[in-house]
Structure 1
Amino acid sequence: MRYDTPSLERWNSRAYDSSFGYVSTQGAPLVDLLDPRPGERVLDLGCGTGVLTAQIAFRGAEVLGIDGSPAMIEKALAQYPGINFIVGDAHDFTVVDPYDAVFSNAALHWMTRDPGAVIASVREALTPGGRFVAEMGGAGNCAELTAAMFTAWREYGLREPELPWYFPTPAEYARRLEQEGFVVRLLEYFDRPTPLEECPGGAADWVRMFAGSVLEGLPPEIVEPLLQRVNELAAPALRRETGWMADYVRLRFAAVRR
């Protein structure tokens, strides 16, 4: 496989697994939808720390995990030394031998530079009839969290932050898949309110982990009060007696290469 290392911020892989392990846990049904079988070759695109990659391998498939974060891949290699992982750019990769399936959980929405190029790369990595099974954030994902951020930034006289994700509508992504030579077999769009059980800092912790790029270049002395204001604004919609929630909306699909 040829790949280009993207210019991404270094993810905190330890914090990701300890505080946001639900990302992998909630991906388990997606592995069931993929239904990997012994002897199949599967590519896990945006594999993170490799938790779901390992589940696919456990079912007997030969699997390769690829992720743009060196920190994530470093941890995946340490946790699962018997599985192949590489750092790579999903927008532009090639494979020597095609795969039976490409799998992706909670990753496609980070591939913002050219979503169509990602789908085209997936198509070229698959055999004819190969499966593309994935779940990502859909339109409206994190709407309350995002609104709180925008309001806080405005109150502090800051320019509206450039968000590091892409949350398409079902129709938009289905059209992209079809344009790149896929037949969509399943498309689901649903709310998934998610407890942030390991986030004592609430929405502020979420912003630090998933939108840390919006804090870059800000005067250091305003970062904490700014994030506290995000918490105050998000709390009416997202804080419960039991803790904080994230207002997730998911887009799940299964498509087949023509």
Structure 2
Amino acid sequence: MGKPTRWVTETGPEHSQWYIDRFRRLAAEGVDLAGEARLVDTLVPPGSRILDAGCGTGRVGAALAARGHTVIGVDADPALIEAARADHPGPRWLVADLADLDLAAAGEPEPFDAAVVAGNVMAFVAPGTEAAVLRRIAAHLRPDGVVAVGFGLDRGYRLADFDDDATAAGLRREHRFATWDLRPWREDSDFAVTILRRPAD
């Protein structure tokens, strides 16, 4: 593991359990937690190999696995990975730091057709590692692989910096929306969902 993530430095020791309990409660209440997965499912062929980067408790990856995809989920928080393994058997859930991600070393050498980076992950990585995170995600994609990234714009990571970091990682922006259900992007939007692609050439 590299530098401590903002998930660790900007929250208290009870935050992970609060987060786990929150999503378990929402699931028990029947709240729709699969919006990100529905979007990603439209971007790839059936039976694709998908990286859930910053998977948290596994809700997005589990929904993609239920749609027939092979999912590998990674998160730096061992408590969240433990919850994902308990609540969503099927996908492989791994503790890993996105800034130095090396899934080949963890026995997953095959490239991915897509990656999803949901739940404000980019705002919670360690300060100064955002570009490295995007580079490591891109390095795990096959040529022409796609990345869907969503985060709130009130969390300290400027959208212009994200765009620069994505370009530096070799990713090309294809689309931008204001929500995961594809509402149009506007300059005053407070959330951004960006679809990126690793060029095939």
TM-score w.r.t. length of structure 2? 0.75
Query: What is the CA distance between 1:116 and its match in structure 2?
Result: 0.6
Counterpart CA distance in 1 for 2:2 and 2:158 is 25
Please list the CA deviations of residues 200-246 of structure 1 after superposition, one character each: whole Å capped at 9, or x if unmatched. Answer: xxxxxxxxxxxxxxxxxxxxxxxxxxxxxxxxxxxxxxxxxxxxxxx
RMSD of the TM alignment (CA)? 2.7
2:90 partner amino acid? G
- Asked if the contact 2:57/2:80 (under 8 Å) is kept, the reply is yes
> Which structure 1 segments of 5+ residues have no match?
142-164, 191-247
* Residue number in structure 1 paired with 2:123: 109
* Residue number in structure 2 paired with 1:29: 35
- Asked if the contact 2:33/2:59 (under 8 Å) is kept, the reply is no
2:48 partner amino acid? E
In our comparison, the structure showing a higher alpha carbon Rg is 1
- Asked if the contact 1:30/1:134 (under 8 Å) is kept, the reply is no
- Shift of the 6–63 alpha-carbon distance from structure 1 to 2, 3 Å rule, reads farther
Question: Which of residues 141, 151, 167 in structure 1 aligns to 2:157?
Answer: 167
- Asked if the contact 1:13/1:75 (under 8 Å) is kept, the reply is no
**What is the 5 A alignment of 1:233-252?**
249-252=190-193
* Residue number in structure 2 paired with 1:134: 149
Aligned length: 172
1:15 lines up with 2:18 in the alignment: yes
**What is the 5 A alignment of 1:140-219?**
141=154, 166-169=156-159, 171-189=160-178
- Shift of the 67–5 alpha-carbon distance from structure 1 to 2, 3 Å rule, reads farther
| Percent of aligned positions that are identical | 27
TM-score w.r.t. length of structure 1? 0.59
Counterpart CA distance in 1 for 2:25 and 2:128 is 26
Query: What is the CA distance between 1:16 and its match in structure 2?
Result: 0.9
2:131 partner amino acid? G
- Asked if the contact 1:27/1:105 (under 8 Å) is kept, the reply is no
Counterpart CA distance in 2 for 1:48 and 1:101 is 18
> Which structure 2 segments of 5+ residues have no match?
104-108, 180-188
Counterpart CA distance in 1 for 2:77 and 2:61 is 15
